[in-house]
Structure 1
Amino acid sequence: MHPFRAAIEAQDIDAALALLHEDVVFRSPVVFTPYRGRFAVAPILKAVVQVFEDFHYTRELTSPPDHALLFRARIGDMHLEGCDFLQEAPDGQITEFTVMIRPLKGIHALAEAMQSRLA
């Protein structure tokens, strides 16, 4: 099991954030421009774990240095599926983190819920 998955499943956000390289590039399913740096990603990750309900990883695909963590979650009555794509440096820190979500209505629900948390 990937350490990021283990940290998220244990609801240990600090441990998950510690796995991110200080200059991590985070690509959100909601905005086009990537976020850069652990400092910029921290509030997003902390908010999303509050927004997602019934979050659970369903599958893990690994071909180091790349990892795909498939998940399911809910926002209110909207069910969604997604994938966290991680790329690691040789030391194991996550240098790139891309999230994709389906369906489109799920992305809209996420954007709305996140906007209220991050405003």
Structure 2
Amino acid sequence: MREFRAAVEARDEAAIEALLADDVRFTSPVAFTPYDGKHITAAILRAVMRVMGDDFEYVREFVGTDEHDHALEFRSVVAGKQISGCDFIHVNDDGRIDDLMVMVRPLSSANALAEAMGAQFDRIVAEATAAAQNDEPR
């Protein structure tokens, strides 16, 4: 999806989060269980930007025949290892991302990503929890 790609390339965290549906499902390349919800997904994506830094770039984009499915191929460096991957995105009828699955290769880079993201996990949970508490009615 072009809007997501532009937001990521601009490192615009607010724009990225605005594109997520409240019930978005994020499937990580390094965790078995998917993560459900806008707050945790946004926190994970912020962590990914910290981990991949300025080396991250999208190199190709594919759009499905119904405009709801997209694939964005990317490259980056994590812990000195070249990583290639793809963001598979599904957009709901409201134009919001309701499914985001990431796949990466090679295995050595996936392992480096898992380690780097693991180091971010406490911060991810804290950010998601704070955002959810800010959404609760007072």
Counterpart residue type for residue 103 of structure 1: P
Q: Is the 8 A contact 1:25 1:96 kept in 2?
A: yes
Q: Is the 8 A contact 1:43 1:118 kept in 2?
A: no
TM-score (norm 2): 0.83
Identity %: 49
SS of equivalent to 2:116 = helix
The reply on whether 1:16 has 2:19 as its aligned counterpart is no
Cα distance in 2 for residues equivalent to 1:75 and 1:32 = 20
Moved over 6 A (4+): none
What is the CA distance between 1:76 and its match in structure 2?
2.5
Instruction: Give the aligned partner of residue 104 of structure 2.
Output: 101
Q: Is the 8 A contact 2:59 2:74 kept in 1?
A: yes
What is the CA distance between 1:118 and its match in structure 2?
1.7
What is the CA distance between 1:103 and its match in structure 2?
0.3
Q: Is the 8 A contact 1:30 1:107 kept in 2?
A: yes
Higher helix proportion (structure 1 or 2): 2
Name which one, 1 or 2, has greater alpha-carbon Rg: 2
Q: Aligned Cα RMSD in Å?
A: 1.0
**Structure 2 gap ranges (5+):** 123-138
Instruction: Give the aligned partner of residue 59 of structure 2.
Output: 58
**Structure 1 gap ranges (5+):** none
Higher strand proportion (structure 1 or 2): 1
What is the CA distance between 1:21 and its match in structure 2?
0.3
